[in-house]
């Protein structure tokens, strides 16, 4: 079973966001594997452990993204591929076009990815890649079973779950609850340093800046207005509860 | 030339989802400024009867694809059917809810039509003849405004429960256009569907949410929140701490790795207010917090806070709501 994992490096979810020169500042921010992609890496490793095969992690971005890929290698992935788009002006179309092109030159049975990234939260790239490659997709999986030629995924739907069967090759996106990602072992970290990291540019994939140019243009970036603290009631529950319910009706007018 | 603002009319359990009305009202305002039509796209089995009434919320036309093969939602069938309608009609924009189905289709359709998509938007404006979308990123820690200058249709998914619904124009009907529903090759086979039976509203569409965190101390205590929820007609949510402890299912987690909600009233009980929770509910219109710890972070964002033991406070809150709502 050859499994590919689409992985994004993101800001740590605890990171404080600041703006510099009209853009989100990256200085002083610690970077992590997108939380949902980490579930995808873990699931790929578990499938490999039960069925055998190979796990390749793929990402786009500059050299800094190697850290996230190395971490996935330290968890147990076999190979990494990093494509540098050569620009920061990327959108979901850009990323999906690059990933799909890189993937189309590889052998695979299954592609896994997080259902969204915790930074821009778009939830688009995996779907777009499926569309470009012409392969089926199942999204928001909390359980995945793989057997010969097909995968069965238990996926979140509104108000419940559904079990979807899709033929392989296919893409499945990971939802929280799929598994508990492992921590890399010391041995894994040492081995990761020697595992292949294939770095490419757009030209190596037969792409150019025009072919991947972003369709979405960012006009402005700002920080949200801070929410002002309101009234805090301290005292006997009978008094405080009554006061808040009264305020909800008379001041806030929400009840 | 691409023309018309199209809206995905999402139907669930034989009813049009609320976010559809939010989309139609926003589309109507933008279309009036641009001098364009508003059209809805509806697909499913037994949905045709719901189409004409979308006129009350601003739809001029509704394209309806009706088929037995659309009874269950699958990514392929809905992408194929709606994709053909969009390819045929060439709209300037296509809006969907950032619901599970809406965002699923938005990704597939945006790529199929070779266009851009702005996800999880909280506002739409018209500037210089272009739609400008406002969207929170980094779980609401930053806000960006984006546009899709050239590619058409400009696709956007809109966060449910944020945009206003205008008073419907009673009796106004939209023109209903039946279109062929060629679902094509559907590769997802739905083997089973398990729905949690609940009389409470869906979390992302609820007007009121009662949420519990670590302070709930265990799953056996959630019924006190459920009782409050039922008195005020609320959905029940939870923080990551409560979900990770295994007390309640992941599907009700509110926060950066859970659902993003924007209710009119959010009642946080025993929730400290970690940044990752605030990210999921910070856009609530009014926040009430109940927490023992007067220093809890949640009080920094709450409109009304009660310092006290939730096990004492919540039952009294429930009784007070009951009185006022009687």
CA B319 to chain centre: 30
Is some CB atom of chain B closer than 8 A to the CB atom of A128?
yes
Residue identified by tokens 């991947």 is A212
Residue A174 token pair: 């990971």
Residue count of chain A: 255
Mean pLDDT (chain B, rounded): 96
In a domain, B192, yes or no: no
pLDDT of residue A47: 98
CA distance B106 to chain A (A): 8
Residue A184: other Cβ atoms inside 10 A: 18
Query: pLDDT digits over B137-193, tens only?
Result: 998 899 999 999 999 999 999 999 999 999 999 999 999 999 999 999 999 999 999
> How far is residue B99's CA from residue B175's CA, in Å, rounded to a whole number?
26
Is some CB atom of chain B closer than 8 A to the CB atom of A227?
yes
Domain boundary among B136, B163, B179: B179
CA distance A153 to chain B (A): 10
* Count of the separate structural domains present in chain B: 2
Closest CA to B27 of B7, B3, B55, B53: B7
pLDDT of residue A13: 86
Q: Do B142 and A223 touch (CB under 8 A)?
A: yes
In angstroms and rounded to an integer, the radius of gyration of the C-alpha atoms of chain B is 21
In a domain, B188, yes or no: no
In a domain, B185, yes or no: no
| CB neighbour burial string for B156-187, b if at least 16 within 10 angstroms, e if fewer | bbbbbbbbeebebeeeeebebeebebebeebb
**Nearest 5 degrees, angle CA B16-CA B19-CA B22?**
110
Q: Is the pLDDT of residue B324 over 80?
A: yes
Is some CB atom of chain B closer than 8 A to the CB atom of A88?
no
Q: What share of chain A is helix, strand, coil (3-state, %, to 5)?
A: 30, 30, 35
Q: Do A13 and B140 touch (CB under 8 A)?
A: no
Closest CA to A133 of A92, A170, A94: A170
In a domain, B22, yes or no: yes
Secondary structure letter of residue A139 according to DSSP: E
Say whether both B135 and B258 belong to one domain.
Answer: no
Residue A183 token pair: 């921590």
Range of B226's domain? 203-325
pTM of the shown model: 0.96
Q: How many CA within 13 A on the CB side of residue A179? A: 20
The answer for A73, left when phi > 0, alpha when psi is -120 to 50, beta otherwise, is: alpha
Q: Which residue of chain A comes nearest to B136, CA vs CA?
A: A120
Is some CB atom of chain A closer than 8 A to the CB atom of B143?
yes
Provide the pLDDT confidence category of residue A238 given band limits of 50, 70 and 90.
very high
* Candidates A16, A219, A249; nearest CB to B132: A219
Which positions 54-113 of B are in contact with A (Cβ < 8 Å)?
Answer: 73, 75-76, 79, 99-101, 103-104, 106-108, 110-112
Q: How many CA within 13 A on the CB side of residue A26? A: 10
Say whether both B152 and B14 belong to one domain.
Answer: yes
Please report, for chain A, the start and end positions of each structural domain, with discontinuous segments joined by +: 2-212, 225-255
In angstroms and rounded to an integer, the radius of gyration of the C-alpha atoms of chain A is 22
Q: Do A166 and B316 touch (CB under 8 A)?
A: no
Q: Are A97 and A210 spatial neighbours (Cβ–Cβ below 8 Å)?
A: no
CA distance B237 to chain A (A): 13
CATH topology of domain A2-212: Rossmann fold (3.40.50)
Query: pLDDT digits over B210-237, tens only?
Result: 999 999 999 999 999 999 999 999 999 9
Q: Do B142 and A17 touch (CB under 8 A)?
A: yes
Q: B276 — phi, psi (to 5°)? A: -70, -25
In a domain, B196, yes or no: no
Q: Are B246 and B253 spatial neighbours (Cβ–Cβ below 8 Å)?
A: no
CA distance A185 to chain B (A): 23
ipTM of model: 0.97
Q: Do A220 and B145 touch (CB under 8 A)?
A: yes
In a domain, B234, yes or no: yes
Is some CB atom of chain A closer than 8 A to the CB atom of B118?
yes
Query: In a 3-state reduction of DSSP, which class is residue A87?
Result: coil
Is some CB atom of chain A closer than 8 A to the CB atom of B139?
yes
In a domain, B251, yes or no: yes
Determine the average pLDDT of the residues in A223-240: 90
Say whether both B219 and B301 belong to one domain.
Answer: yes
Q: Which of A216, A217, A219 is the best substitution to test chain B (most B C-beta atoms within 10 A)?
A: A216
Query: pLDDT digits over B32-70, tens only?
Result: 999 999 999 999 999 999 999 999 999 999 999 999 999
Q: B199 — phi, psi (to 5°)? A: -90, 0
Query: pLDDT digits over B185-202, tens only?
Result: 999 999 999 998 888 999
Q: Do B188 and A118 touch (CB under 8 A)?
A: no
Q: Do A215 and B150 touch (CB under 8 A)?
A: yes
* Candidates B118, B189, B302; nearest CB to A165: B189
Q: How many CA within 13 A on the CB side of residue B171? A: 0
CA B28 to chain centre: 19
Residue identified by tokens 């189409």 is B51
Q: Which residue of chain B comes nearest to A226, CA vs CA?
A: B301
Q: Do B303 and A126 touch (CB under 8 A)?
A: no
Say whether both B173 and B289 belong to one domain.
Answer: no
Chain A residues whose beta carbon lies within 8 Å of the beta carbon of residue B285: 254
CATH of the domain at B57: 3.40.50.620
Is some CB atom of chain B closer than 8 A to the CB atom of A186?
no
Query: In a 3-state reduction of DSSP, which class is residue B23?
Result: helix
Query: pLDDT digits over B269-286, tens only?
Result: 999 999 889 989 998 999
Q: Is the pLDDT of residue A51 over 90?
A: yes
CATH of the domain at B289: 3.40.50.1220
DSSP secondary structure of B178-240: EE---------EEEEEEE---SSPPGGG-SEEEEE-GGG-SGGGHHHHHHHHHHHT-EEEE-H
Residue A88: other Cβ atoms inside 10 A: 9
Query: pLDDT digits over A170-196, tens only?
Result: 999 999 999 999 999 999 999 999 999
pLDDT of residue A228: 82
Q: Do B294 and A130 touch (CB under 8 A)?
A: no
Q: Which residues contact A229 (CB under 8 A, 6 or more apart)?
A: B299, B300, B301, B302
Say whether both B287 and B247 belong to one domain.
Answer: yes
Residue identified by tokens 């923080």 is B239
Is some CB atom of chain B closer than 8 A to the CB atom of A34?
no
> How far is residue A146's CA from residue B49's CA, in Å, rounded to a whole number?
41
DSSP secondary structure of A28-72: T--EEE-HHHHHHHHHHHHHHHHH--EEEEEEESSGGGHHHHHHH
Q: Which of A137, A215, A251 is the best substitution to test chain B (most B C-beta atoms within 10 A)?
A: A215
Is some CB atom of chain B closer than 8 A to the CB atom of A254?
yes
Q: Are strands A150-157 and A137-147 parallel, antiparallel or unpaired?
A: antiparallel
Say whether both B86 and B123 belong to one domain.
Answer: yes
Provide the pLDDT confidence category of residue B318 given band limits of 50, 70 and 90.
very high
CA distance A216 to chain B (A): 5
Query: In what side-by-side order are the strands of the sheet with A79-84?
Result: A197-201, A79-84, A54-60, A2-6, A110-114, A170-174, A137-147, A150-157, A160-167, B189-195
Q: Which residues contact A194 (CB under 8 A, 6 or more apart)?
A: none
In a domain, B29, yes or no: yes
């Amino acid at each position: 079973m050859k499994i590919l994992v689409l992985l994004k490096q993101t800001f740590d979810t605890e990171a404080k966001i600041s703006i510099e020169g009209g853009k989100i500042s990256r200085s002083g921010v610690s970077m992590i594997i997108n939380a949902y992609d980490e579930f995808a890496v873990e699931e790929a490793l578990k499938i490999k452990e039960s069925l055998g095969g190979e796990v390749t992690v793929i990402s786009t971005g500059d050299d800094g993204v190697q850290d996230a890929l190395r971490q996935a290698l330290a968890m147990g992935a076999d190979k990494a591929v990093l494509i540098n788009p050569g620009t920061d002006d990327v959108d979901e179309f850009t990323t999906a076009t690059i990933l799909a092109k890189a993937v189309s030159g590889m052998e695979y049975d299954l592609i896994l990815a997080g259902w969204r990234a915790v930074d821009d939260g778009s939830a688009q790239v995996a779907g777009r890649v499926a569309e470009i490659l012409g392969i089926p997709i199942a999204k928001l999986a909390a359980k995945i079973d793989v057997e010969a030629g097909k995968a069965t995924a238990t996926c979140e739907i509104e108000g419940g779950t559904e079990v979807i069967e899709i033929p392989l090759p296919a893409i499945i996106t990971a939802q929280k609850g799929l598994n508990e990602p492992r921590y890399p072992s010391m041995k894994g970290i040492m081995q990761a340093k020697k595992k292949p990291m294939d770095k490419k540019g757009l030209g190596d994939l037969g792409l150019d800046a025009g072919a991947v140019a972003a369709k979405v243009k960012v006009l402005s970036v700002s920080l949200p207005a801070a929410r002002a603290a309101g009234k805090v009631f301290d005292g006997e529950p009978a008094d405080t509860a009554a006061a808040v319910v009264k305020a909800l009706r008379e001041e806030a007018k929400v009840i | 030339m691409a023309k018309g603002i199209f809206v995905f009319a999402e139907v669930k359990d034989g009813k049009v989802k609320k976010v559809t009305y939010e989309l139609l009202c926003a589309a109507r305002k933008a279309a009036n400024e641009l001098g364009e039509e508003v059209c809805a796209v509806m697909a499913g089995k037994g949905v045709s009867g719901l189409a004409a009434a979308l006129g009350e919320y601003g739809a001029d036309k509704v394209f309806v694809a009706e088929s037995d093969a659309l009874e269950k939602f699958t990514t392929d069938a809905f992408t194929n059917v709606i994709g053909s309608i969009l390819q045929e009609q060439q709209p300037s924009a296509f809006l969907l809810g950032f619901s599970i189905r809406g965002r699923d289709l938005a990704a597939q359709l945006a790529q199929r039509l070779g266009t851009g998509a702005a996800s999880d938007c909280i506002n739409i404006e018209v500037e210089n003849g272009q739609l400008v979308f406002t969207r929170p990123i980094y779980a609401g820690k930053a806000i960006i405004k984006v546009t899709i200058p050239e590619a058409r249709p400009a696709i956007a998914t809109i966060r449910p429960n944020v945009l206003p619904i205008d008073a419907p124009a009673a009796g106004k009907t939209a023109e209903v256009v039946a279109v062929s529903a060629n679902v094509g090759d559907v590769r997802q086979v739905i083997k089973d569907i398990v729905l949690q039976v609940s009389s409470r509203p869906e979390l992302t569409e609820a007007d009121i949410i009662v949420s519990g965190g670590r302070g709930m101390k265990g799953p056996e205590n959630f019924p006190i929140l459920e009782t409050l929820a039922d008195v005020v007609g609320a959905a029940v949510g939870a923080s990551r701490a409560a979900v990770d402890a295994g007390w309640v299912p992941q599907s009700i987690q509110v926060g950066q790795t859970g659902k993003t909600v924007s209710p009119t009233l959010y009642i946080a009980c025993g929730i400290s207010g970690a940044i990752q929770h605030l990210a999921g509910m910070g856009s609530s219109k009014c926040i009430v917090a109940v927490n023992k710890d007067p220093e809890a972070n949640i009080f920094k964002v709450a409109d009304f806070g009660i310092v006290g033991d939730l096990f004492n406070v919540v039952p009294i809150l429930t009784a007070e709501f009951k009185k006022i709502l009687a």
